Amino acid sequence: MRFAVTKVCGGGAKARAGMLQIAGSNIETPALLLSTRKGLPAFVSRDLLASLPLPDSLLLHVCPTHFMEGPPSKTISNVGGLHHMLGLPDHILIAAAGDSIESLPTSEASNKFGASFETPAGRRLVKPSDYMELISCMKPNLWASLADEVPAWVTEKRNKVSVERTLRWLDACIALDEDSGANTLGVVVGGSSIEQRKLCATEVSKRNVSGFWIGGLGLGDSPEERCSILNAAVGCLPPEKPRVVSRLGLPEEVLEGVASGIDLFDSTYIYQLTMGGFALIFPIDMVGKEMQNGSLNNSDGDFTKINLRATTYRKDTSRIVDSCSCFTCQNHTRAYLNHLLNVHEMLAQILLEIHNTHHYLCFFRLIRDTIKTGQFDRFRQQFVQDRRAYLAAAVI
């Protein structure tokens, strides 16, 4: 894996564009990791993945703890790893122990032996040796070390313990790794403590890791705390290695992360939108352009999305977004999706996830373009202002 920063915003800003060379593919950053359940997006099958923008859709976040209940790790290894089992030899699999759907970290049950996760099969304690056995069988392109993630409300003492455990488990994972950490992403934790975040980031950067995974966000922290945490952690990390962050999903949260210098985003935002029946509609073709077909002024959305379950779309024969080139917008109408949602047909989630994934990947492409042209700060400010103005008008 190779990573190079190709453009940094001027004026002291931290937003940057880069190039990630991995598994024979060149991925421009900032980029999105598509969340998966046992290796594939929740509603997009292997054959439908090809309909998504390339190479942006090649990055997949996989969760090793999803595979603890089967198939057996030995079976995955005998097949040749997760790439071969899924039939996705060209995709880039990035593994991390937890996610925000089926493997939630539970700090109160973690101990010195391992991290605890809430899974569909119950609470599971994962030791570094167990975790590395899964990693060695799955053979992901990159993997994040096991970490003790804690919510924002824990004490300073608990934050200190989480850092100590995470560093100890990182050393244990590297010692058990066949490649001695060559494909490892060191996890930076510390809760809401700026001091512990800086300490953890400094110590992790001393290890033989390929990049950094900033964890523990989205667990009760406020937007103000999150901004301070990101800036503190990123400030202690070397600039030549990629940085990944988890649980930042909203468009304005992504923009905040990019402004702090984050390169890759692991998010379940698309999954949550799809399950709720929402479709993304904000403009992605140019900065400040108003939405087409009146979506921006629709009371059933919030400037970024619309609720296709609403009765107002029952006879709406327009596309979700007129200018969108995804399979859903090219072949189906809002009225059809409204019908599918209200009769509880699973095709609704399939079509919605295709559109939302396509739209969000194009959003990341727009972010990269604004960084390259030096317009990122202007774009970010305008996007946030438009959203706040819309919400204020909706309240009135």
Of 68, 69, 55, residue with least CA distance to 27: 55
Of 245, 246, 171, residue with least CA distance to 209: 171
Q: pLDDT tens across 282-314, in order?
A: 888 644 444 334 333 444 445 789 999 999 999
Q: pLDDT tens across 177-216, in order?
A: 988 889 999 999 999 999 999 999 999 999 999 999 999 8
CATH class label, 2-273:
alpha beta
Of 244, 251, 260, residue with least CA distance to 96: 244
Residues pairing with 124 in the sheet: 117
> In the prediction, which pLDDT does 297 show?
41
CA angle 59, 63, 64 (to 5 degrees): 125
Q: pLDDT tens across 63-98, in order?
A: 998 888 878 888 999 999 999 999 999 999 999 998
Residue pair 324/355 in contact (Cβ under 8 Å)? The answer is yes
Residue 362 assigned ligand-binding role: no
With bands split at pLDDT 50, 70 and 90, how would you rate the model's confidence at 162? very high
- CA-CA-CA-CA torsion for 117, 123, 125, 130, nearest 10 degrees? -80
Question: What is the CB neighbour count within 10 angstroms for residue 305?
Answer: 21
Q: What is the mean pLDDT of the chain?
A: 90
With bands split at pLDDT 50, 70 and 90, how would you rate the model's confidence at 112? very high
> In the prediction, which pLDDT does 395 show?
58
With bands split at pLDDT 50, 70 and 90, how would you rate the model's confidence at 218? confident
> In the prediction, which pLDDT does 285 show?
66
Residue 326 assigned ligand-binding role: yes
CA distances from 163 to 218, 308, 332 (A): 18, 44, 50
- Give the span between the Cα atoms of 217 and 153, in whole angstroms: 12
Tally the C-alpha atoms within 13 A of residue 222's C-alpha that lie toward its C-beta: 3
Of 41-50, 200-209, 312-321, which range is least confident? 41-50
Residue 200 assigned ligand-binding role: no
- CA-CA-CA-CA torsion for 178, 166, 141, 327, nearest 10 degrees? 160
Give pTM, 2 decimals: 0.92
Q: pLDDT tens across 221-262, in order?
A: 888 889 999 999 999 999 999 999 999 888 999 999 999 999
Q: Is the pLDDT of residue 32 over 80?
A: yes
> In the prediction, which pLDDT does 276 show?
95
The residue ranges of every structural domain in the chain are 2-273, 277-394
> In the prediction, which pLDDT does 283 show?
82
Mean pLDDT of 381-392: 80
With bands split at pLDDT 50, 70 and 90, how would you rate the model's confidence at 11? low
> In the prediction, which pLDDT does 174 show?
96
Bigger pLDDT: 315 or 98?
A: 315
Of 166, 71, 65, residue with least CA distance to 117: 65
